[in-house]
Structure 1
Amino acid sequence: MRNWIFNILLIFIFSYNNAQNFIFKAYVDQNNISTDDYIRFTIESSERVQLNNLQFSDFVIKQGPYTSSSSQTTIINGKFESKNEFKSTFIIAPKKSGRLVIESIKVNFEGKDYQTNQININVSKGQIKNSTSQPKNRSNNSKLFAKITCSNFNPFIGESLIIKYKIYQSSYHIRNLEITDYDLPMINDFWTELIEPKNKQWKEEQEIINGISYRVYTLKKEIVSPQKSGKITIPSFEVATLINRDFFNRGTSKLIKSNQPTLTVKKLPSNAPKSFNGQVGKNYKLSVKLSKQELNVDQALDLEMTISGNGNLKQIKFPTLTFPKDMEKYPEEVKSKIKLSENGVSGRKKLTQLLIPRFHGDYEIQPIEFSYFDITKEKYQVLKHPGFKIKVNKGANQNISQDEDITNYPSNMMKNQQEDVEIISNNIHHIRNKTVLYDFSNPIFGTRMYWTIISSIPISLVILILILTNKNKFTDQEKIKLKKIIKEVNNGLDKLNENIDQTESKIFYQEIYRLWNIYLVNKFQIKLSELNRGKIKDILIQENISKENVELMDKILNNCEMSQYSPLTNKMAKETLLESQNLIKNLEKNVA
């Protein structure tokens, strides 16, 4: 009985989900043909629908429909997911040449109308057929390309954009695809944050472009913010692939290269308010709280300021807070809760300031103002919070009446009150009740102090000579700093060596990449924003580093990038670690 109830619930849940996520689309295998060719036209839906008397004004149906269906159900962490797929495929041929259209197909599912997008087909004139003509080889129509997509090609300075690096494969022409190698670019003039996939790799997707269905593989997604105006070009990337390899076929190697999108970055308007500190985004909010507005002297109070919104919150600068002089300020504490997703950067940042008033009276904290550039309204927005008035009452020690006999109070309180007296004139002092007298009648010559002073003179001269001869070691702060950094990098590599068998491949290579960034930036004085493999290679060549070491550096960086998208073996990790240690030793020998 329980099994019957469970099965009924499953059917109900699946039916409900399918109704909510009904999919209906159409696509073709090619959109540039001649009048001698034909097209494979497919209609796909997530539920079985009735297709009655399909007719096309510019095409004739030669064969079909050929129908197929598949179903898949998964249960992950108690969450049910079902996927149904119903396909009807037609073989159609053009009636004439020119720019033809496959009209939209309309269906009704559970009382709601759905329709596909119309598809444009370019048809050229074909050749005259004869009995000896051979069938046309359609492999030239295979579709495989790489593409860089950007969420906005005309942003403002500081605006967050989503950049995706993708590979598109036509499922009609390519049975299987293997990615053997790729090199993703490091882009300059951008602040960059990498979006991490949930399951270590991005889910395969499907897109229809110009009527053709593609399987889409995402290599990387990142959030970027341009740091300068004008035209900025994102470098292309190359992917080495192996197509249609199986048990009977070695496959075909193909190198594909992506596009190079160019962004036109706009300057921010010149009428920025004084409180503007470069923050660009939308939906910002300012909240300021004070823990109490009436307290006694030497009691603590907290001021909390929170800024939330959608924008580059990691680079946010809080408004400058001014407090009364008699209010002691302790170091501020900043906490962040920031989320990176395909919607950009969102979250909040909170600043907490501890204050302690040292004197009684009425205090005032000035109004707080924060401004940002709103990308939706395309103008500056100013957020204001009114100031605070704080009343500080006298503490227990300050309520003592002057008429009371001070002899009734402890001696330590008397001492504190005496020390707190501010000297206004130099002719009035406290009476000293202890005096120490010294006898200067005896001469110093021949005493222990005399011989100590005499013997210290040559020792001081030796120390002075040592300091002068090693002046560079003590005064060259850059060399001292670099030595500390090299020591830190070597210690980091040693720790990786100790834990290499327990460390995940991706985390291991992230740490290797971080240590190399620290070393290269400080050793060769490279800006972090300009750090890329091409720049590193040029600098090493300028420093007359051997060709073997230059190639080894490029190999290490390539392994670090590859590991983020495809796991590498433990053996390769050990080789990379050993190569890194040896390369740093070689660079230290050859570069001053």
Structure 2
Amino acid sequence: MKLKNFILTILLFSAGLLHAQEVKFTAGVNRNPVSVGDQFEVVFSVNGNGENFIPPLWKGLQVLSGPNVSTSMESINGKTTVSNSISYILMATSEGEAFIPAATITVNGNRLTTNPIKIKVTKGRPLQRNSGQQNGADNSIIEGNTADLAKSLFIKAVVDKSNVYQGEQLTVSFRIYTRIGIEDSRLDKVPDLTGFWNQDIKNPQQQQQVQWHVETYKGLKYNAADLKQTILFPEHSGNITIDPLEMTLLVRQPVQSHDIMDQFFGGAFKEVKYKAKSAPVVIHVKPLPDAGKPDSFAGAVGRFSIEANPDKMALKANEPLNYKVKVTGAGNIKLLKTVNTEFPADFEKYDPTITDDITESVSGVEGSRVYNYLVIPRHEGEFTINPIRFSYFNPSTNKYVTVTSKSFKIKVDKGVAGNNVTALAGADKQDVKVLDKDIRYIKTGNASLNRPGEGFFVSALYYLLLAAGPVFCIAAYNYRNRMIKLNSDVVMVKNKRAGKVAAKHLASAQQQLQANNTAAFYEDVFKGMYGYLSDKLNIPYANLDRENIGSALNARSVGDELINQVLETLDLCEMARYAPVTHISKQEVFNKAKGIINDIENKI
């Protein structure tokens, strides 16, 4: 029994490793190249539940929005997959090349990193700069006087409602008002919106430039533009504060001048820095009422309708039936749980696949969510799929509303013999019998019969195998103890497996070589050699550097020529991960790395 448990533990551990290898953490941008002043989006995606996300250090790029977090979940035939993405809206600030370094995240205890991304930035101009304004006579930059500029330039958080119910959607727009020219800007702080589930509104027309319009505020006309628009859903009742959005602005402020030329051309100006931020806004969130709350209520707030349809009304036993449930409306539709479906007890039900068709705008979130259930009737008969009761709270009427779908009569005919499943006539319909396993037919034809004492169970082979059982158990026990003793020496185990681990990375590198994926090729070669040297030389990965590698190889009587080849190859791979290498082909690098590992294996 101990040996069985030991083998089972190894199998489960191996299955866990295979599952962990399926998790991928990637980064991508929606535009490349970009111009100075252009906005673009970078998205970090992981197909699992991650934690401790560390964004890259932005160099040469200005963060306009983010992090914006979104999660999607899909369940197919009982297998649930979760995908998370973290996005940022960035703006290029200078011409040339910009790098988005690697981001890191932890999934199931493993640290994952993305590949760095190179962005080509062409000539352009800052997004907020007014091309129609001329430079002032004095271009020096000074700190702006808050009292002088506060009435001419400010940021305001505009909400469409400040008194809502828990789960009711509202929209906040961080709007800038100005009566003076803005030369440049920098976003200092984006509110984290704690206490709200939030979704940014992404308008394709606003990806290139801010849309300005004239707005009258307190009797004065301003140029106004929305910097950021977000849909909010309060997660709890009480007073929740929307924190300020903060910016540093470079503005052109007029100054008095006695120069007749300045007066003729419109006066003199000073470029001054001014820090602006919106005032905090308090949202009063009321709890959902308990009076009249139906049992079928699961947290939906807004206005919704529901419909359900099977893909067929008649089928045979053990044939699949797709039952589609569609919820349509406006509100917290992305937060809906699985709807309550009631299928006949004879129907085998699987978890639904979920498909969303949802849009976000200043008016809120609206669209539809489709739950597609796969059910299988197990035997013949006529069955009824009961209506679905879906309840939601309508904040406009302050009442709970329950909507229902139609009921459906499903006719199930007897399944074909090939399905190998049937129901016994007159038996309870819950008792499904599997032929050739539960019930054996009477055997026909010539039956072979043996006299007592002539069968296998009294033969010499039977007693030989019976005696061999304890021998095999003792051998397995000794083998297990030997493996435990060998594996207890971690250094020796890592040393032995170093070549195999390196071979896996080189095999992956060969695939990238054939696919002409240069960056991934050098990444795999680099990881393969570094991992091999770490295991073979018993040096922690974090302590690997040129000096430690050279000293360790030299201590193991590895020749200077081979040591130099190792260091040159590592330097080449490190450089090639970020810049193109032309003096040597990728095939030569691959052959060189493979030969180095083989030479070290022969010498150590």
Normalised to the residue count of structure 1, the TM-score between the two structures is 0.47
Normalised to the residue count of structure 2, the TM-score between the two structures is 0.46
> Computing the radius of gyration over CA atoms, which structure comes out larger, 1 or 2?
1
